[in-house]
Amino acid sequence: MIWKFSSNCVSSSKSSRLYRSKIDCVDGSTDNRILETASTAQAEAIISGDAHLLDLVEWNGIPVYNPDNFLKKFFPA
């Protein structure tokens, strides 16, 4: 088992045919699944309106944007 520590969160993974990272960062929340997916997909950003995720601002080097700020930053009018 591999343990990773970052952004005050702990994640673990086991080597398998499909890589999956188990994240426990947002207390008592299913939002951890979003973080697991972002980690596995090596996402460049997380776009969400969820307050728990937005509170992170950045997680594991992945910025978290609300949709409005994402559009303003990458698609200015």
Per-residue three-class SS string for 3-53: EEEECCEEEEECCCCCCCEEEECCCCCCCHHHHHHHHHCCCCCEECCCHHH
A 10 A CB-CB count for 64 gives 22
pLDDT at 42: 92
pLDDT at 23: 73
Do residues 23 and 36 touch, judged by C-beta distance below 8 A? yes
- In which residue are the tokens 């460049």 written? 44
Name which of 23, 21, 20, 22 is nearest 8 in CA terms.
Answer: 23
**Series of mean pLDDT values for 10-residue runs along the chain (77 residues):** 45 48 72 90 94 92 96 91
pLDDT at 28: 61
